[in-house]
Structure 1
């Protein structure tokens, strides 16, 4: 039975993925930040670890527990947890930006660094990241969150190249608009100028279950894709970013 550690399993993509992978025969170790969510995951039958990604000591302790549970034989790490700080960049403090990167990027680096040896030891593994459509394109009001996801994308590309001589594969899942609690958990920097998704996004919003075929392929394909784009909007954004002139993309995105 292959073991996978998933971060951010209190709801949304993480919880759905944990349930689906457990049903598929994986040994799932789930993580969450709050005690009430921990109790819920345990009640659902998951081996569960408390993890606050904004706390380096918590990351270290969670990794230690995962290594102990798996006897240093981990197949996959799904770096899924994260949150968004929204607002104009001029309204976001250094402390808010540091917290954004601490959770969405620095913790991914630390956790992967701690768990990677457990994959290398038995010669196979998968590192899968939850990025975002704003890891492809930057839009007004989402600069802090987008910057953290751009960093994650670049880090993942580099890690993939550095592990090319191994059987450890690094994959990125890039969701577009999904029906999760992410938007309701966003930290708004300006309460009198709340950043909301454009109305058109609702027309292309999918259930979080849309990521499951991508996740299964990333975990199980002999030669998984580098990037898995979820929703039509994400595919369109990647094509536009590649083909359209920068100034035209600016005009399209300026009011998004």
Structure 2
């Protein structure tokens, strides 16, 4: 079972896992995207991280189709809210944490009993390089991913001896629609014109947010680079706790571990 399969990482993983012989449940927030999967022979139904009942219904659907068994869960759905942290309204924080953190762990906690009963299972949480190092104008998204990393570490240790393995996928720049999908959230929540950092919005954030990409960003890789790591996490006898994808994630980990905070701040300020 995978979430966030409308495009990008989730869609590529669903298709590739199906090709490898997995019985895939590719869930999407929009019913129209589910219909697209069904038309191509992949089972699909709606699941929205922001909706508790949608999560409960999705889990019941998956377990109902498999007589209560579920070998793997890949939790991928998320959105971004690019902005200065001081400009984030409380309700905007609630929204992004519901989608990126509360929903994923609600889903995981509903699946774990079935995995405990069968004595095995694999769970992959899709985090981010921004869950390793926080960058400017990405505070809300980084907050959700730092929290995901911490809760995943705790849960992984709590599941020791159960046969359930939990891994984190940490992508850097990947060819997805996360930037385009962030625009409606930015326009809904951020009053940048009255911000103390208006100049930074006008010269840095907004041009990048609305730019039409003509070529990949530096170090950007296709979603398939994540799929190969997901496959290892699901199929290897010894899945890793963390799977880093793209050069920036390795650099971010080194930055976090090796450099004094003040030096790291200067480096990250240029990202």
Report the TM-score range of the alignment, normalised by the length of the smaller protein.
Answer: over 0.9
- Provide the residue aligned with 1:146 in structure 2: 142
- Asked if the contact 1:10–1:41 (Cα under 8 Å) also holds between the matched residues in 2, the reply is no
With the length of structure 1 as denominator, give the TM-score of the two structures. Answer: 0.94
Measure, in 1, the Cα distance between the counterparts of 2:56 and 2:227: 28
More helix by share: 2
* Aligned-residue offset at 1:244: 0.6
Question: Rg bigger for which structure?
Answer: 2
Per-residue deviation, residues 6-29 of structure 1 (Å, max 9, x unmatched)? 000111010100000000010000
Deviates further, 51-60 or 128-137: 51-60
2:31 and 2:45 in contact (8 A); partners too? no
Deviations 1:190-248 (A, max 9, x none): 56623538x9x812111111112211110111111110000011111111111111111
Q: Hey, what's the Cα distance between the residues in 2 that align with 1:240 and 1:53?
A: 32
Q: Deviations over 1:43-85 (max 9, x none)?
A: 1212112111111111111111111112110000000111111
State the 4+ residue runs in structure 1 displaced beyond 6 angstroms.
none
CA–CA distance in structure 1, aligned partners of residues 161 and 31 of structure 2:
40
Q: How far does the alpha carbon of each residue in 1:71-103 deviate from its partner, in whole angstroms, 9 at most, with x for none?
A: 110000000111111101121111111010001
User: In terms of mean alpha carbon deviation, does 7-16 or 29-38 score higher?
Assistant: 29-38
Aligned partners of 1:14 and 1:212: how far apart in 2? 8
Paired residues of 1:87 and 1:190 also in contact (CA < 8 A): no
The SS at the match of 1:215 is helix
- Which residue of 158, 173, 182 corresponds with 1:177? 173
Tell me if structure 1 keeps the 8 A contact 2:173–2:246: yes
Number of aligned residues? 252
The aligned counterpart of 1:203 is 218
Greater per-residue strand proportion = 1
**Structure 1 residue ranges without an equivalent (≥5):** none
Paired residue for 1:110, among 106, 109, 121?
106
Of residues 227, 231, 238, the one that matches 2:242 is 227
Residue 35 of structure 1 and its aligned partner are, at CA, apart by 2.1
Q: Which runs of 5+ in 2 are unaligned?
A: 194-200
Q: Distance in 2 between the 1:82 and 1:31 partners?
A: 13
> Does the CA-based 8 Å contact 2:87-2:192 persist in structure 1?
no
Q: Distance in 1 between matches of 2:231 and 2:58?
A: 24
Structure 1 SS opposite 2:142: helix
Shift of 1:166: 1.2
SS at match of 1:138: coil
SS of equivalent to 2:118: coil
